[in-house]
Amino acid sequence: MATNGYEDVAKGDAIPALEVQPQELYHAKSFWTRYIFCQDAKVIAIQYALTATTIGLVGLVSSWLIRMQIAFPGVIPMDASAYYQLVTMHGMIMVIYLLTALFLGGFGNYLIPLMVGARDMVFPYLNMVSYWVFLLAVLILVASYFVPGGPTGAGWTLYPPQAITSGTPGSGLGIILMIVSLAVFVVGFTMGGLNYVITTLQARTRGMTLMRLPLTVWGIFTATVLALFAFPALLVAGIMMLLDNILGTSFFMPAILEAGLGEQMAYNGGSPILFQHLFWFFGHPEVYIVALPAFGIVSDLISVHARKNIFGYRMMVWAIVIIGFLSFIVWAHHMYVAGMNPWFGFFFATTTLIIAIPTALKVYNWVLTLWRGNIQLTVPMLFAIGFLITFVNGGITGLFLGNVIVDVPLSDTYFVVAHFHMVMGIAPVLVVFGSIYHWYPLITGRFLNNRLGKIHFWITFLGSYSIYFPMHYLGFMGVPRRYFEIYDSEFYTASTSDLNQFITIAALVTGFAQLVFLYNIIVSIKHGKKAEKNPWKACSLEWQTTEMPPEHGNFGKELPVVYRWAYDFSVPGADEDYIPQNTSPNEVANAQVEKT
Amino acid sequence: MIIPAVILLVILGSVAFHLWTPWWWTEVASNWGSIDSTILLTFWVTGVVFVAVGLFIAFCVWRYRYDKNRKADYEPENSKLEWILTILTALGVIALLTPGLIVWNKYVTVPEEAYEIEVLGYQWGWGFRLPGKDGVLGTTDINNISDENMFGLNTDDPHSFDDILIDGDDLHILLNHPLKVNLRSLDVLHDFYVPQFRAKMDMVPGMITYYWFTPIRTGNFEILCAEYCGTAHYAMIGNVLVDEKDDYDGWLNEQMTFKETLALNKNNDLIKIASNND
């Protein structure tokens, strides 16, 4: 049995005799069950996306305030506590509540059932609960802004002892609510995550072998598996720290003094480094939980808009799986200078640099897909290209930080800030934008405005590159991150100040350009150009539904049967430059006969 | 047309920025110039890849832009090409990792002849302790810490009393002598970081961490805390001076041992004053 769609095509019809049980769907009867407590994965996806974006705007505004303090101190009055609270909440919101929720809860819910040819997720009710639990987690997070002492200012890594001692802002209720919110998030995510994994494995339609899945599904599926393994480490670390905080246990707390040379505290024997191991055992896979869906989605964007099959599909799948596996044995590269046994450095530097190989192969395959393609410079394609440049830049700085000795001078400086924003902030966000322009017609039946899209792209891509590319060089100078102000220091020369002001202005411009995008999204729902079915002429199943936008149940009376992979673009001899996955070889042959 | 041109500009602009940037590392003041060399090597290897991939994208976007009368190539895979690229990338990784690990091995192997000091971090300031005449740092316990005993020295350890204690003042170290700094924290994580020395390690309460370096030029350098440690993290700044032998000895003679501070303390609260000074 051949594993690739295009090999099957050459051999004629080859449909595995896979029986898919018809799925009983819950049919909504009222407004409440249709739009609010809805079990349709597509509605849940929108709910996830809207909630994530809303809290993401809080994260975005936080970043403006942070940048104002760095470049123009005093313009917006804030003290060090407020600054550290902004830094902490910005990081936590962007990584967990925006990107993780948006990629898995948003894109995962919308695309997995449609792309694998299922009517819905396998556990629709659980899926609905997943969203409401996520919303609860967000509300708890928001509540922490309003408790005495404010939200935690422990940094998004929440390192003990400082996370729970009095020298850190929000060390009272703030940190408790933060941990509770994370725990609730993990619970909600697990409900959704099991759905994404089991739907991908069990609910694929006839003919949809694993090696015919679009890379989008591979990316989201693998990311979800990672998340299901990684989040428990965060959960237990959070609970143990909560116990240290509330009950006075000493999991992470050695004997220490109260902040500012105070009294001895009643802790003894705990290990702060243990927390870091648990945190990064979650935290590093988390990077790939955000990156792998972006990898998958961008593969599909490039392929569709270059009218060419993705180059090296099998390699791409294996690269995703291998990166996913390796992401669990590189975590301590975040801890090279944390005080762990220095001999660990040899192991983790080696595994970390090995991960560069499958990652680089993915980049080669993306650009080789452009080679001899027929590239339509649509807005999604522009964002995909923007992603490539940004990701290559952010990826190679990973080779600096992953190589243990190079990390020594650079860790805890602005080089790190620039690196991770480039690679897991901007790069995935560019994919998010590209995919919204790409799938908006499927979701609403209308296009987003093209001109506004291009303006949005250029400001976002060039703006974010101007923010983060020069920022690396502050790190080379040795400017440390997480400094409320560094004006007494010899490191803050006039020219550093100029650079910081430039970066802040670029950040504000880029940030405000997102208003163009929000405007476009809102206005186009009613006034966008109407889209015909399958407007991008894509092969994957989400565009082959009977209705567009797809109704509840996705595929009308009969589920599609899949005959080929998702990338039959520009097949030699074929009439059109694409053959949908559910077009049989006979139909292709008949179309040719009719023509001749 | 404009799009490949902008991509080209971004790539070439990045290279130009790198070549002419006024923001670059400080002049190295320790033996860890080898770390700088590793960084430069990494720049070369990754820079070539960055430029090559970027130019390739710009070329493809220009050369293969949409034409409705043309069809894209159909080439699902090319295992020979994919293997060549895998091997080339692996070679690049080896070229970076090998020198990196060799230097790291030096970083974690403290030379026999290194003399030892202790750097103490607390919210928010620095203390320094030198072993004194016996050349051995006395043992410590956090429970011993009091106004008279800021460093928590064990009074039943004979090595303790000749230890030289510096709190709220500058640290002096000896030019061209390998130095092992033992790092200790009283409360939360800190990090003893002097950018010109290139070296760094977190200070973790409950354990002693360390690194070593050899200062190679005299001067006054700023100590920055590099691990977030609470509200006044940014203000946790100190000074270290690299001295020639004579200057160092002169400074050393002015410093007080633990015993002297204890004796003094019976008369006045000198230690308290000293710690209030920072």
Per-residue pLDDT of chain A (596 residues; tens, 9 = 90+): 334 444 444 444 455 544 555 666 767 778 787 788 899 999 999 999 999 999 999 999 999 999 999 999 999 999 999 999 999 999 999 999 999 999 999 999 999 999 999 999 999 999 999 999 999 999 999 999 999 999 999 999 999 999 999 999 999 999 999 999 999 999 999 999 999 999 999 999 999 999 999 999 999 999 999 999 999 999 999 999 999 999 999 999 999 999 888 889 999 999 999 999 999 999 999 999 999 999 999 999 999 999 999 999 999 999 999 999 999 999 999 999 999 999 999 999 999 999 999 999 999 999 999 999 999 999 999 999 999 999 999 999 999 999 999 999 999 999 999 999 999 999 999 999 999 999 999 999 999 999 999 999 999 999 999 999 999 999 999 999 999 988 777 777 778 889 999 999 999 999 999 999 999 999 999 999 999 999 999 999 999 999 889 998 899 888 999 999 999 999 998 888 999 999 998 888 887 777 66
Closest-CA distance, B242 to chain A, in angstroms, reads 17
User: Are B133 and B256 contacting, i.e. CB atoms less than 8 angstroms apart?
Assistant: no
Q: Which pLDDT score is estimated for B252?
A: 94
A273 vs B contacts (CB less than 8 Å) = 204, 207
In tens, the pLDDT along B210-264 reads 999 999 999 999 999 999 999 999 999 999 999 999 999 999 999 999 888 887 7
Measured CA to CA, the distance from residue A174 to residue A165 in angstroms comes to 12
In tens, the pLDDT along A519-564 reads 999 999 999 999 999 999 999 999 999 988 999 889 988 899 999 9
In DSSP notation, B178-197 reads -EEEEEEESSS-EEEE-GGG
Q: Say if the Cβ atoms of A272 and B201 lie within 8 Å.
A: no
Q: Which pLDDT score is estimated for B276?
A: 41
Q: Which pLDDT score is estimated for A489?
A: 76
A430 alpha-carbon distance from chain centroid: 10
Cis check for the bond before B4: say yes or no (omega within 30 of 0): no
User: Are B218 and A155 contacting, i.e. CB atoms less than 8 angstroms apart?
Assistant: no
Closest-CA distance, A92 to chain B, in angstroms, reads 16
Q: Say if the Cβ atoms of B103 and A469 lie within 8 Å.
A: no
Q: Say if the Cβ atoms of B189 and A256 lie within 8 Å.
A: no
Q: Which pLDDT score is estimated for A33?
A: 78
Q: Say if the Cβ atoms of A346 and B101 lie within 8 Å.
A: yes
Q: Which chain B residue is nearest to residue A370, measuring alpha carbons?
A: B60
Q: Which pLDDT score is estimated for B266?
A: 63
Closest-CA distance, A415 to chain B, in angstroms, reads 12
Closest-CA distance, A175 to chain B, in angstroms, reads 13
Measured CA to CA, the distance from residue A504 to residue A64 in angstroms comes to 8
Mutation target among A253, A323, A389, A414 for the B interface, most CBs of B within 10 A: A389
Closest Cβ–Cβ partner in A6, A159, A367 for B56? A367
Alpha helices in A371-493 (DSSP H): 379-402, 404-410, 414-420, 427-444, 450-477
Closest Cβ–Cβ partner in B46, B85, B202 for A338? B202
Whether B269 has a pLDDT exceeding 70, the answer reads no
Sign of CA dihedral A467, A472, A477, A483: positive
In tens, the pLDDT along B103-133 reads 999 999 999 999 999 999 999 999 999 999 8
Question: Looking at residues B33-56, what average pLDDT do you find?
Answer: 96
Q: Which pLDDT score is estimated for A19?
A: 53
Q: Is B28 on the interface with A (CB under 8 A)?
A: no
Residues facing residue A578 across a β-bridge: A569
| Contacts of range A364-368, beta carbons closer than 8 Å, 24 or more positions apart | A364/B53, A364/B82, A364/B85, A365/A299, A365/A310, A365/A311, A365/A312, A365/A315, A365/A316, A365/A319, A365/B82, A366/A298, A366/A299, A366/A302, A366/A311, A367/B53, A367/B56, A367/B57, A367/B60, A368/A311, A368/A312, A368/B81
Closest Cβ–Cβ partner in B24, B56, B71 for A476? B24
**One-letter amino acid for residue A266 of the chain:** A
